[in-house]
């Protein structure tokens, strides 16, 4: 049962939040092999100044559309599985909401 906390700046539409959650969920189902009904996401929306991040870390740049996703996976996954997950997540979020 992966549990995900999603943090982003306030102001995105309900459709955007749903697409963000769905992209994350689909990547978890595909890469971690969790059941489709196993979805536990909490979305935290923050005012300006409440979500602090380095805009240039590891090559950046990062905009105000930055999203921080913290996952408690429930059981350990090997490095190859985690890489598949990250690749799937990036592809889905870029396609669904234009997040790179």
Q: Is 2 annotated in the active site?
A: yes
- Using alpha carbons, select from 65, 57, 73, 53 the residue that is nearest to residue 20: 65
Tokens of 17: 């939040």
Q: Give the length of the chain.
A: 100
Provide the annotated active-site residues: 2
């Amino acid at each position: 049962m992966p549990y995900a906390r999603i943090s982003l700046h306030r102001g995105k539409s309900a459709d955007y939040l749903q697409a963000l959650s769905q992209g994350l969920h689909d990547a978890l189902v595909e890469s971690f092999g969790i059941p489709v009904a196993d979805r536990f996401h909490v979305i935290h929306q923050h005012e300006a100044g409440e979500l602090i991040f380095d805009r240039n870390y590891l090559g950046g740049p990062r905009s105000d559309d930055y999203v921080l996703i913290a996952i408690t996976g429930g059981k350990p996954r090997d490095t190859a599985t985690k890489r598949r997950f990250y690749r799937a997540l990036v592809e889905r979020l870029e396609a669904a909401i234009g997040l790179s």
